[in-house]
Every structure is written in C-alpha cells, then in structure tokens.
C-alpha cells in the first residue's frame, strides 16, 4: 500500500512510502483488539476503592433489642446495614484489576488496529520535523495544515523528541508518541494516525521481528 508523503505545510512532496501489507493489510481481528484494549484500561485502574463494612464502622456491638417476641424484624447492633450510618453490604475492596494477555495477541491487536486505520484512509505520512524549542503555535499550525483541527490525531515518531512532545501537550485532541509507546487503545481512539516518515521503517522492523 503506497501513501504519499506530505510536508508540514500539508503539501505533497512527490515522495511515497510503502506500508507493508503484512502489517497494514491484514484482516483485522476484533477479539484481539477487544482483549488488548480491555487490558490497557484495566491496568490504568487504581483499584483502591474501599467502602466500610460492618467491621469497619465505629459503634457499639450491643444488641439493640431481644431476638424474639417483639413482632418486628430481628436487629443486631447499631452497625447493621439497614440503619443509617451502618456498614455497607458487599462494598468494594482494594483489588488488582490487571490480567494477562499473550504477546502474540497484543501484536495481532496492534496490527489489526493499524489495518483498520489503513483501510479507512486515516493514515497520513509526513516528513520528519523538529523544533528548536517547544512551540505550541507551530504544532497547532501543522495540525491545521493537515486538516486535523477538529479531529483526534496521534503523531507517531521514530524516537523521543522532547520539543515536539512539549509543543503538543497543551493542544486538545493532539497526542505524540513513539513507536515503542504505540498501543491498540491509542490507535483506535485517534481519528487520524500521523506517521513521521522515519517511523514507518521502525514500525515495519518492530512487527517483523
């Protein structure tokens, strides 16, 4: 699959890059995408939610009234969940939400996400660019030139570039990652994937190894 390379002004440079069909042209596996995305979101959960149950609530353990003979329901102590201020029944407890997904599934999921973006023509390849210093205005201009103003865009670089990252940090809907930081969730969450020219070769090497 050949894609035209644009410059940061949004103009065609006359160059093209070939997106490997063994990565960008596969039949997407929806279940692999689901598993990898579910794991990504689960790993982000802190799992620190905690509600007070009967044993955690402060209060007397004295039995409020006798068990039988009153004509009404039996009560325990003042920490009964039926009373205001009592403990909660089966409340959340701290837990680990993470789970394991095999490497081959995660690899297939990322390739499937890339294939979806390629099939819907939502991949743009731009020439490598850099800033002398963090310049949010320049990054915003690049997004406008590529017609990404009102879209969620994910810029993928071959390696870390601090100035480009800092330039995008305050722009809503714009995120910058390296190839090694690319996840299924981020690919699917973005409307358009913007690949730096040098990142294409790194992507190919990553998935072929």
Domains of the chain, CATH where assigned: 2-45+102-208 (3.40.1370.10), 46-96 (no CATH)
pTM of this prediction?
0.83
Residue from 77, 82, 84, 75 nearest 55 by CA: 77
Quick check: 209 pLDDT over 80? no
Quick check: 108 pLDDT over 90? yes
Query: Residue 1 has what pLDDT?
Result: 82
Buried b (16+ CB within 10 A) or exposed e, 150-177: eeebbbbbbeebeebbbbbeebebbbbb
What does the pLDDT look like over 114-170, one tens digit per residue? Answer: 999 999 999 999 999 999 999 999 999 999 999 998 889 999 999 999 999 999 999
What does the pLDDT look like over 28-69, one tens digit per residue? Answer: 999 999 999 999 999 999 999 999 999 999 999 999 999 999
Query: Residue 207 has what pLDDT?
Result: 87
Structure-derived torsion over alpha carbons of residues 143, 145, 147, 153, reported in degrees to the nearest 10: -20
Q: For a pLDDT cut of 70, what percent of the chain falls above it?
A: 100
Confidence class for position 3, pLDDT limits 50, 70, 90: confident
Chain length of the chain: 209
Confidence class for position 106, pLDDT limits 50, 70, 90: very high
Q: Mean pLDDT throughout 4-22?
A: 88
Query: Residue 12 has what pLDDT?
Result: 87
């Amino acid at each position: 699959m050949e894609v035209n390379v644009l410059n940061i002004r949004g103009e065609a440079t006359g160059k093209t890059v070939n997106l490997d069909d063994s990565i960008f042209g596969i039949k997407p596996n929806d279940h692999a995408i689901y598993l990898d995305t579910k794991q990504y979101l689960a790993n982000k959960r802190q799992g620190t939610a905690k509600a007070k149950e009967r044993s955690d609530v402060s209060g007397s353990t004295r039995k409020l009234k006798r068990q039988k003979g009153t004509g009404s329901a039996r009560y325990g102590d003042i920490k009964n969940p039926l009373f205001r201020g009592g403990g909660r029944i089966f409340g959340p407890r701290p837990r680990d939400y993470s789970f394991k997904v095999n490497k081959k599934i995660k690899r297939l999921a990322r390739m499937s996400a890339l294939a979806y973006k390629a099939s819907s023509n939502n991949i743009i390849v731009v020439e490598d660019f850099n800033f002398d210093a963090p310049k949010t205005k320049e990054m915003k201009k690049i997004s406008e030139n590529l017609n990404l103003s009102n879209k969620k865009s994910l810029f993928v670089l071959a390696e870390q570039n601090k100035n480009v990252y800092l330039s995008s940090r305050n722009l809503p809907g714009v995120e910058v990652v390296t190839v090694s930081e690319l996840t299924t969730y981020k690919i699917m969450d973005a409307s358009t994937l913007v690949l730096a020219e040098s990142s294409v070769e790194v992507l190919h090497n990553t998935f072929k190894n």
